[in-house]
Amino acid sequence: MAFPRLRNQDGTYSTEASASVKDRFYSNIHFEPNSGCWLWAGALHGAFGYGAFKIGNRQSKVDKAHRVSYELHKGPIPKGLVIRHVCDNPACVNPNHLEIGTVKQNAQDMVRRQRHMFGEKHYQAKATEALVKEMRGCTSRSDGIRIGTNYGISRQSANDIMSKRTWKHVQ
């Protein structure tokens, strides 16, 4: 038997999918009363602290929980755009804390968050495994390079990372 279709042509969730997906989705949330954040209590996606959620069956790919939340509550995410956290908490999936943005804005958010965490003085423009994965996860090479340079690494280093001349061990 085929797995029920989860998405309509326009990218929105089908009605049946939406009910079962929502049930499963809400069972993974921890509501944080002070910030209003909905913290993801399930598995995490990669090293950036985003929640991981599978919309479909076992074989389907893992989606980022905040993107699923946005789609469930607000609608499809336009192609090429990303979801930003206005609360600066990557684990948050509260749709009211999420907004559509560009890859560049999202990278700038990450830089700001990192500076906030480590302090401007200690901020060093060095590639990390997490950054390398995020860069290579981009659909286009130029987006990957842009994320790297937004983090402060040089264009040359970003290029090398994308071409796998460096960081070869990172899948």
Residues in the site for Zn ion, rule: CB under 5 A? 37, 87, 89, 92, 94, 97
Nearer Cβ to Zn ion (88/160): 88
Least distance in angstroms from the C-beta of 32 to Zn ion: 8
CA distance 8 to 21: 14
Structure tokens at 93: 């999936």
Nearer Cβ to Zn ion (90/144): 90
Least distance in angstroms from the C-beta of 158 to Zn ion: 30
Nearer Cβ to Zn ion (29/92): 92
Least distance in angstroms from the C-beta of 116 to Zn ion: 15
The whole-angstrom distance between residue 10's C-alpha and the CA centroid of its chain comes to 21
Nearer Cβ to Zn ion (85/146): 85
Give 14's DSSP letter: P
Least distance in angstroms from the C-beta of 14 to Zn ion: 28
Strands 44-45 and 50-54: antiparallel
**DSSP H stretches of helix in 35-169:** 65-73, 103-118, 129-136, 141-150, 155-162
